[in-house]
Amino acid sequence: MTVETVATAPIAGQKPGTSGLRKKTHVFMGPHYLENFVQATFDAIGGVAGKTLVLGGDGRYFNDRAAQVILRMAAANGAVRVIVGTGAILSTPAASHLIRLHGTDGGIILSASHNPGGPDEDFGIKFNTPNGGPAPESVTEAIFARTQSIAEYRILSAQDLDLSAPGRRDLGGMAVDVVDPVADYAALMEGLFDFAAIRALFAGGFRMRMDSMCAVTGPYAREILERRLGAAPGTVVNATPLPDFGGLHPDPNPVWAKALMDEMMGPDAPDFGAASDGDGDRNMVVGRGIYVSPSDSLAVLAANAHLAPGYAGGLKGVARSMPTSAAVDRVARALGLPAYETPTGWKFFGNLLDAGRATLCGEESFGTGSDHVREKDGLWAILMWLNILAVRRQSVADILADHWARYGRTYYSRHDFEAIESARAEAMMTALRDSLADLPGQAIGGLTVQAADDFAYADPVDGSVSRHQGVRVLFADGSRIVLRLSGTGTEGATLRLYLERFEPDPARFGLDPQDALAPVIAAAHRIARIAEFTGRSQPDVIT
């Protein structure tokens, strides 16, 4: 085995987004592309000589090949140890847990999360810091800067390692510990939740359907739900992770998890339904005949977290991303808890969690989690719901009804306009920002604009400021719209339009969300001139 120093040159476009670098798979498979970014990451964190890393991914196409390259590069750069999941598989929350459990110097996660996988689809890579969370902007900016000046990378000349079973391997003097990807994570969950109560729930005839979408959570869900909690065999469907996710779009929302939605709205629906995404950090929750929005889910979990043993002592605070509805804020006020509003991206929750200011965090994009790891965690959220159901012995619909009766209902929806020409999307956002000062006081379709801004976040822990995180328009009746361009796509730009309206009147809790939001939707299109700039009058996806 010899260390090769390979001459290279900067490759344009290697700027990490909110969750690392995501591109089409064939781009990552191009000459030097993966290697450049990995070496730039190593260099940006001060090198990996003498360090220990965690490595794993969601099993999408190119996951196995990329893992072998990264292992050889880690060895060539002097790392002393890498902990890798069997078959180079780890869910994102499980990887975060391993980083924290073993006190490593960080980890590399191979995933494009909820994006489709396959040779013609998407791939991604990101670095997580020693706290287990995604790299903050200071680190991702340093990585990007290094990609623009890189001249060489180091890689070990060696055969592929056998990663098919747990055990220690040697790679040029670097220890490679292959571990069961599920065991440590399952043990963590068993320490947080009342497994005995959930087992009793299933033993009493409670039925569930879990759709793992041919993605990474299949083995985790089978082990925890079917083996440890006693759910009926077959409760977990699409449980085998596949490189192309079986042709499915591994995004747990009502559009892409349509089969689950149809079953849950059908005449013989199970009591509870759930789905998770490509890398296991997102979740969708559905009751018999009722869908639970991510914003409502976060609020319900905050109100009921004390029912789970791991949170019986109460919460330190709650945090939500700015586009997420304010439903959880009302719970926080009632409980006397601090509530934080951060930009989109789980990395912004890390400082709050590390400083002990927050316990629960959530994003409207189907991400929920707590201080047990530093990533959102799909199965954790599903188990929290099961714990609440096991203790309260009510249906999902009844729990939501009780919650709305106490706190009011927030109607909420997200409209996605996908693959817009980037220049058009940027022009629209620029024009919108230029109009913000003139909006307050304007009456638009029966709604009066009270305030408008381009959200900036001052981190209360380290004082760092993040600007241009999305445009907010607030109306006098408490309704709100938010517009931002997503950083998780790989083609063109995705415009995300977030719509929110608070309803305190119980007589109006049964409206269809799109009907309840109709005036807000119309106002948003007028204010942002969406059709004028994008040529689109209807979204591609509504969640």
Q: What is the pLDDT of residues 432-447, one digit of tens each?
A: 999 999 999 999 989 9
Distance CA 291, CA 273 (A): 9
CA-based radius of gyration for the chain: 23
pLDDT for 264 beyond 70: yes
pLDDT for 19 beyond 60: yes
Domain 185-407 listed as CATH 3.40.50.300:
no
pLDDT score recorded for residue 294: 94
Q: Which of 19, 91, 96, 113 is catalytic?
A: 113
The architecture of the domain spanning 409-542 is: 2-Layer Sandwich (3.30)
Domain 2-181 and domain 185-407, same fold? Reply is yes
Mean pLDDT to the nearest integer, 126-139: 94
pLDDT score recorded for residue 299: 98
Tell me which CATH homologous superfamily contains domain 2-181.
Answer: Alpha-D-Glucose-1,6-Bisphosphate, subunit A, domain 3 (3.40.120.10)
| Side-chain-side CA neighbours of residue 412 (13 Å) | 24
* Sheet bearing 409-420, strands edge to edge: 443-444, 447-454, 471-475, 480-485, 493-503, 409-420, 541-542
Q: Any idea how long the chain is?
A: 543
pLDDT for 261 beyond 60: yes
Active site residue 111: no
Domain ranges of the chain: 2-181, 185-407, 409-542
* Residues in contact with 381: Cβ distance below 8 Å, sequence separation at least 6, in sequence order: 283, 285, 297, 301, 368, 369
pLDDT score recorded for residue 492: 81
Asked if 516 contacts 508 with a C-beta cutoff of 8 angstroms, the reply is: yes
Among 164-168, 191-195, 201-205, 246-250, the range scoring the smallest mean pLDDT is 246-250
pLDDT for 460 beyond 90: yes
